[in-house]
Amino acid sequence: MFLRKNVLLLFQTGGWVYADCTDFRSTLCKPCPDGTFMDHPTYHPVCYISKSCDEGSGLKMKTSCTKVSDTVCEPLEGFYCSDSRKDDCVEARKHRHCEPGEYIREHGTSSTDTVCSTCSDGTFLDGTFTFCQKHKQCESEGLLLLRAGTKTEDAQCGDIPSDWTGLIVGGVLGHLAVVLVALTAWFCREKITSFLNRSKNL
């Protein structure tokens, strides 16, 4: 008499039970057909259907199904595996895109998401560059600051209007004139005070 359990354990990886054993023969097994597998000894009369890697879910095939193993999936480019079982990725998510005003501190991989950080004060990132840029220094370039920079936009500079030049020059000259008048008045007062003091001593 054949031992059903022992015979099954010898034959069922990569195959399925075609006919149970009897008193006169052992269990009859057949290999799993294409697209199916059996990865452990079993009493099942059918093989498991292999899964497919859904590109719409961010997955692609890493290794195809064999008679003894299921299909193994991995994330598509631009995705990372958010849930895995052994070497198989069962769920993937898109890498994060850094917002304006942020830069990529760590690039995403197949197993980790992108890490973003905010630009520091005095710098900005508008999506044109891959790293934060310093704001323009309008004054040092001899320009007028029209709008201060933010974390997403550079400072905006402009030429100083020609009619402003006369005002600026006039203002500077006026200031110098006031200073000269004040110095002259102080000098005259000192001279008068010195003269009066000498007159008293005579």
The reply to whether domains 15-94 and 102-153 share a CATH topology is yes
CATH superfamily, region 15-94: Tumor Necrosis Factor Receptor, subunit A, domain 2 (2.10.50.10)
- 124-143 burial by CB neighbour count: b if 16+ within 10 A, else e? bbeeeeeebbebbebeeeeb
Name the nearest CA neighbour of 87 among 75, 78, 98: 75
**Both tokens assigned to 36:** 């199916």
Please report which confidence band the pLDDT of residue 72 belongs to, taking 50, 70 and 90 as the band edges. Answer: very high
Q: What is the mean pLDDT of residues 141-152?
A: 88
- pLDDT for res 27: 66
Confidence band (pLDDT; 50, 70, 90) for 201?
A: low
Q: How confident is the model at residue 1 (pLDDT cuts 50, 70, 90)?
A: very low
Return d(Cα 128, Cα 102) in angstroms, integer: 12
Exposure string of 75-85, with b = 16+ CB inside 10 Å and e = fewer, is: bbeebbbeeee
Q: Residue with structure tokens 């001279």? A: 191
> DSSP label at 151?
S
Give, in order, the Cα–Cα distances in Å from 20 to each of 6, 12, 28, 85. 12, 12, 6, 33
CB 102 within 8 A of CB 125: yes
Sign of the torsion formed by the C-alpha atoms of 117, 121, 125 and 129: negative
What confidence score (pLDDT) does residue 184 get?
79
Segment 24-33 shows an average pLDDT of 75
Read off the pTM: 0.60
| CATH number of the domain located at residue range(s) 102-153 in this protein | 2.10.50.10
Residue ranges of domains in the chain: 15-94, 102-153
Looking at residue 66, its pLDDT comes to 92
Q: Is 20 helix (H, G, I), strand (E, B) or coil?
A: coil
Rg (CA), the chain: 42
